Amino acid sequence: MAKKDDPKKKEGKESKKGIDFEQVSRKLASVGEDQQIDQIASALTDTYLTHAKYDKDGVTHYKEEFTREEAEAMGDKLYDALGFHLHRRYLKIDEKGYESLKNIKDPEGKPYIDIFTQYHFELDRKQLKKSLGRKKTGNRISIASLQELLQEPVQKHAGKAIEGIISKEHLTEPENREMVKGAIEGIITEYKENPEDYELDRMDHLRLVNTYIGLAQKHYRKGAHPEKKKEKSR
């Protein structure tokens, strides 16, 4: 009598066969565009301009020096902009859902939106406000300085988005090591990388996954290999 397949083993086999590395590579390469990370800079710029704008003799001007109170008020609005991006653009929560989340707080009174924003950007509201309003007066803030200040938190957010893609496909699980290695070898061959630059057998699994991410983002981003597009159109 034939043995019945173990459903769990069968499911594992199917999930392994189901990893489409071509699709995963494209997702990794376009994470900034797909998750609208590029929109964060625009949102922060708009927030800054709103707070820096003033009218003088009917002409709009923008100041670069702020009191502590003004700087902290701007910090609040900037943090709100990060939370809005995270929930409305990244998580695609509708306006009604987003508004309802504003009323949810933890037992200590911290808003849920702030908790999740802090997790994704590794930056809390108080930290941002303190960075902007260090002095009672004369806090210099410009679009350039804001972008520099928030560059690392935005990169942390992008990293979380990448982690989500990798986690969904279970690529960090040790049993998928050979599959990840095979995907890397495929990219190396396809895009004529030097195999000697990648000692894959000596890499631990985490480094192997990070190597795959780097190669996918290098070769699958839009416009990376226009010659490939020409070959397909022939």
Percent of all residues in the chain with a pLDDT value above 70, rounded to a whole number:
87
Range of the domain at 49: 36-153
pLDDT greater than 60 at residue 234: no
pLDDT greater than 60 at residue 7: no
- Residue 181 in any domain: the answer is no
pLDDT band, residue 44 (cuts 50/70/90): confident
pLDDT band, residue 18 (cuts 50/70/90): low
- Residue 68 in any domain: the answer is yes
* Two structure tokens written together for 234: 């022939």
Q: What is the mean pLDDT of residues 168-189?
A: 94
- Residue 88 in any domain: the answer is yes
Give residue for tokens 């699994």: 205
- Residue 5 in any domain: the answer is no
Question: How far apart are the C-alpha atoms of 79 and 124, rounded to whole Å?
Answer: 8
Question: How far apart are the C-alpha atoms of 191 and 209, rounded to whole Å?
Answer: 18
pLDDT band, residue 2 (cuts 50/70/90): very low
What is the domain count for the chain? Answer: 1
Q: What is the mean pLDDT of residues 172-192?
A: 94
Quote the pLDDT of residue 23.
93
Cβ-proximal residues to 203 (8 Å cutoff; 6+ apart), any chain = 211
Kindly give the interhelix angle for 21-29 and 143-168, rounded to the nearest 10 degrees: 170
Quote the pLDDT of residue 17.
55
Q: 111 or 226: whose pLDDT is higher? A: 111
Quote the pLDDT of residue 131.
96
pLDDT band, residue 14 (cuts 50/70/90): very low
- Residue 30 in any domain: the answer is no
For the entire predicted model, the pTM comes to: 0.74
- Residue 162 in any domain: the answer is no
Quote the pLDDT of residue 41.
78
Residues 101-153: pLDDT tens digits? 999 999 999 999 999 999 999 999 999 999 999 999 999 999 899 989 988 99
- Residue 148 in any domain: the answer is yes
- Residue 164 in any domain: the answer is no
